């Protein structure tokens, strides 16, 4: 199901959103005193319902999002009802959210072709989130025939408007030569744009590019910097890579304690490469070093409860 953050991201066409609290509904008298031009997502449900019923398209969208947030089967049916009314009138957020609901089977039977139809309508109006999602559908061949070049086209439209995940996805396409000629320098450019906005996958891949000298001069210290930023966010691949850098002393002084800590964190998420590295390095450590690494591991877990 689309998360609360995800809903707001759809509303603004960005990758990061804000949690909303549902205000208590006001009285009928209070509702009648509120102009429909003043209602918004945070308004009492009675005001939104009245204004949506009177045909205010913004109220229809906000009411649909409120019902979506409530999440029960009847609520989701109401969400679809109001969002579709707005989408049918060309409201870009309504179109983008309805597309997401069809893609995930939320309140409606899952229907990838219908998701593509609504994503396209929103994407053609410039909605970055819908552009990214349409690119993803083309990349995966979901609801449309697989078409890497078309995926690149939609990713790029979203990426140039600073959609972080689209920037990362476009970097992957350039790195792999999928839908575009392989171009490591261009991959680095898009990874960097996403990485600087905090995208952990892009930070990890940018670290790899520096470690391997692909698209940039080889620089282990910069590789470590990007690995660390992603590892601190809980990215298992970055944690493994950072652990290996500590194990061999590339970009950082060799340190088996930190190597074990990072490899252990990655292995705890199921990374088999990290597990293999941990099994090797533990045989090279003293009991005190292992105890210290385990202590650091526990401290990190306690300090990052959501990761």
Model pLDDT for residues 91-123, shown as the tens digit of each residue:
999 999 999 999 999 999 999 999 999 999 999
Assess whether 115 and 170 both reside in one domain.
Answer: yes
- For residue 209, tell me if it sits in a domain: no
- For residue 205, tell me if it sits in a domain: no
Q: By C-alpha distance, which of 301, 251, 247, 302 is closest to 279?
A: 247
Q: Which domain holds residue 65?
A: 1-26+34-109
Assess whether 105 and 125 both reside in one domain.
Answer: no
- Domain final residue, candidates 109, 133, 162: 109
- For residue 44, tell me if it sits in a domain: yes
- For residue 224, tell me if it sits in a domain: no
- For residue 219, tell me if it sits in a domain: no
pLDDT tens figures, 231-281: 999 999 999 999 999 999 999 999 999 999 999 999 999 999 999 999 999
pLDDT at 41: 87
pLDDT at 215: 98
Q: By C-alpha distance, which of 250, 248, 245 is closest to 284?
A: 248
- For residue 203, tell me if it sits in a domain: no
- For residue 213, tell me if it sits in a domain: no
Q: By C-alpha distance, which of 212, 255, 206 is closest to 235?
A: 206
Assess whether 149 and 61 both reside in one domain.
Answer: no
Q: Is 38 exposed, middle or buried (0-12, 13-18, 19+ CB in 10 A)?
A: exposed
Written as tens digits, the pLDDT of the chain (307 aa) is 455 445 434 443 433 332 223 333 444 444 455 788 888 888 888 999 999 999 999 999 999 999 999 999 999 999 999 999 999 999 999 999 999 999 999 999 999 999 999 999 999 999 999 999 999 999 999 999 999 999 999 999 999 999 999 999 999 999 999 999 999 999 999 999 999 999 999 999 999 999 999 999 999 999 999 999 999 999 999 999 999 999 999 999 999 999 999 999 999 999 999 999 999 999 999 999 999 999 999 999 999 987 5
Domains held by the chain: number: 3
Assess whether 190 and 253 both reside in one domain.
Answer: no
Assess whether 87 and 164 both reside in one domain.
Answer: no
Q: By C-alpha distance, which of 69, 126, 72, 119 is closest to 94?
A: 119
Instruction: Provide the 3-class DSSP secondary structure of residue 82.
Output: helix
Q: Whole-prediction pTM value?
A: 0.86
């Amino acid at each position: 199901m689309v998360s609360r953050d995800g809903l707001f991201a759809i509303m603004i066409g960005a990758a990061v959103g804000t949690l909303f609290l549902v205000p208590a509904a006001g009285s009928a008298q209070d509702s009648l005193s509120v102009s429909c031009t003043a209602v918004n997502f945070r308004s009492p449900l009675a005001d939104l319902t009245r204004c949506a019923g009177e045909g205010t398209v913004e109220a229809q969208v906000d009411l649909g999002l409120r019902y979506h947030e409530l999440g029960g089967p009847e609520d989701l049916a109401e969400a679809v009802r109001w969002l579709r009314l707005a989408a049918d009138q060309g409201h870009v957020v309504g179109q983008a959210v309805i597309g997401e609901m069809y893609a995930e089977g939320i309140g409606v039977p899952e229907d990838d072709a219908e998701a593509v139809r609504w994503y396209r309508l929103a994407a053609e109006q410039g909605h970055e989130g819908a552009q990214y999602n349409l690119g993803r559908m083309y990349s995966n061949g979901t609801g449309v025939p697989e078409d890497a070049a078309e995926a690149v086209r939609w990713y790029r439209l979203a990426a140039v408007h600073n959609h972080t995940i689209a920037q990362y996805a476009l970097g992957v396409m350039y790195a792999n030569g999928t839908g575009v000629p392989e171009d490591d320098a261009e991959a680095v450019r898009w990874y960097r744009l996403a990485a600087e906005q905090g995208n952990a996958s892009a930070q990890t891949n940018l670290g790899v590019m520096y470690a391997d000298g692909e698209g940039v001069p080889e620089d282990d210290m910069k590789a470590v910097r990007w690995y660390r930023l992603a590892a601190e966010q809980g990215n298992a691949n970055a944690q493994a890579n950072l652990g290996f850098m500590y194990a061999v002393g590339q970009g950082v002084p060799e340190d088996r304690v930190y190597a074990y800590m990072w490899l252990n964190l990655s292995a705890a998420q199921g990374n088999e490469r990290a597990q293999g590295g941990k099994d090797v390095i533990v045989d090279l450590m003293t009991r005190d070093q292992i105890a210290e690494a385990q202590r650091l591991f526990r401290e990190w877990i306690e300090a990052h409860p959501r990761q």
